[in-house]
Amino acid sequence: METKNALSLFFIPKSMLQILDTIISLDVLEEFFLCDLSACKGICCVEGDSGAPVEEDEIAQLEKVLPVIWNDLSPKAQEVINKQGVVYLDEEGEFVTSIVKGEDCVFTCYDENGYCKCAIEKACREGKTDFYKPVSCHLYPVRVAKYKGFRAVNYHRWNVCQAATILGKKENVKVYQFLKEPLIRKFGEEWYGHLCQAAKEYTKK
């Protein structure tokens, strides 16, 4: 390992970066990304084989916000929530948001243009709740996995987000820049400052 900051910052040759207890894929620094809702229409909340990961302490927040967003949810989503709740355990034993017939997250809603959006985020932006949405959703396309002694921070490539990579490259926005707010939410200001420092060091190579 080559030390770049005596306190917490290490580059692991060729593929990864370590900050405190996190191991970060260099894709987070290298790749471009900027959501293009006009192109994808929010398909990431529909596609996939399971719901979005949910931290245990977020379950109560999801249940608390339900009365606020209930009328924005589809009747089918309401039915699923009434039967199994806001989350379920996936095949790996992790909590994820409930989904409707293997597709839409139960918290989706659609605007007049047919764009799929998060009903929780919509309510937060309207000042009806202070819970933005599950942090895993906020962090996408970054996924965080917990292992013994460290957390892995990886960039998740998905063909439905191709428009976001194109727009990110056009606007010169990297993944870590696009995700500034959720990364700070998850790891804190100090951690994000180290990440930006790492990005500067990495681009000098």
Q: What would the pLDDT profile of 146-163 be if each residue is shown by its tens digit?
A: 898 899 999 998 887 889
Q: What would the pLDDT profile of 89-147 be if each residue is shown by its tens digit?
A: 998 889 999 999 878 899 999 888 888 899 999 999 999 999 999 999 999 999 999 89
Residue 5: per-residue pLDDT: 41
- 99: nearest Cα among 115, 83, 121: 83
Rounded to 5°, angle at Cα 74 from 72 and 77: 115
Residue 48: per-residue pLDDT: 62
Share of the chain above pLDDT 90, in %: 66
Q: What would the pLDDT profile of 23-70 be if each residue is shown by its tens digit?
A: 999 999 999 999 988 877 777 776 666 789 999 999 999 999 999 999
Q: Could you tell me the pLDDT band of residue 9, with boundaries at 50, 70 and 90? A: low
Helix, strand or coil, per DSSP, at residue 154:
strand
Q: In what order do the strands lie in the sheet with 150-155?
A: 2-5, 9-12, 16-19, 22-25, 150-155, 142-147
Q: Cα–Cα distance between 34 and 89 in angstroms, integer? A: 31
Residue 7: per-residue pLDDT: 43
Q: Cα–Cα distance between 100 and 149 in angstroms, integer? A: 35
Residues linked to residue 87 through DSSP beta bridges, in sequence order:
97
> How many Cα atoms within 13 Å fall on the side-chain side of residue 203?
10
DSSP summary character for residue 109: E
Instruction: Indicate the burial class of 196 (C-beta count within 10 angstroms; 0-12, 13-18, 19 or more).
Output: middle
- 103: nearest Cα among 84, 116, 85: 116
Model pTM score: 0.86
Residues linked to residue 150 through DSSP beta bridges, in sequence order:
147
- 96: nearest Cα among 108, 81, 86, 104: 86
